Structures are given as C-alpha cells and as structure tokens.
C-alpha cells in the first residue's frame, strides 16, 4: 500500500470505530431521545442515521478502490 492509501485506511478505520462506540443503539435512542434532545424517537433516529451517513461520506471522500492483485 502507498502512504496515501494507508492514511485513507486509517481514517476510515477511525471513523468506523467512532460510529461503533459513540452512537447510540436504536434502543438507546428510543429511550433517551426525548429526554436528552427533546425529539420523538423516530426523529432522533432519523438524525442519528443522517449523522452516520455524513461521517461515512467524509471518511471515504477521495478514496479510490484498490484493485485486487492476481
């Protein structure tokens, strides 16, 4: 792998780890969205999904697929 590819991989890995640890599960969101954010559960989950999608988009911006070696 080239240095740029290593950096891109590490950026994506960091993002995936953050998504896996820092975002609430659907059950947590249902229980806590109104109390913590003043949102109904559906609206809270919708916003959480939009945030996850934005993080994924930012983490993969400019990343090109690495072709498999034969």
Q: Total domain count for the chain?
A: 1
Instruction: Kindly state whether residue 9 falls inside one of the protein's structural domains.
Output: no
6 lies in a domain? Answer: no
Whether pLDDT at 70 is above 80: no
Per-residue pLDDT at 3: 92
pLDDT of residue 8: 94
Q: Is 31 contained in some domain?
A: yes
Q: Is residue 1 in a domain?
A: no
Q: Do 4 and 66 touch, CB atoms closer than 8 A? A: no
% of the chain surpassing 90 pLDDT: 84
Task: Tell me which residue range forms the domain holding 40.
Answer: 26-50
User: Exposed e or buried b for every residue in 53-67, given b needs 16+ CB within 10 A?
Assistant: eebeeebeeeeeeee
Domain for residue 4, yes or no?
no
Determine, yes or no, domain membership for 21: no
pLDDT confidence band for 68 (50 / 70 / 90): confident
Could you read off the pLDDT of 33-62 as tens digits, one per residue? Answer: 999 999 999 999 999 999 999 999 999 999
Mean pLDDT (the chain) is 92
Token pair listed for 28: 């947590």
The vertex-58 CA angle with 52 and 55, nearest 5°, equals 15
């Amino acid at each position: 792998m080239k240095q740029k590819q290593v950096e891109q991989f590490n950026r994506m890995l960091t993002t995936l780890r953050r998504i896996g640890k820092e975002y609430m599960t659907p059950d947590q969101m249902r229980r806590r969205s109104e109390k913590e954010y003043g949102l109904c559960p559906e609206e809270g989950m919708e916003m959480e999904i939009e945030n996850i999608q934005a993080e994924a988009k930012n983490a993969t911006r400019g990343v090109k697929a690495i072709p498999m070696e034969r």
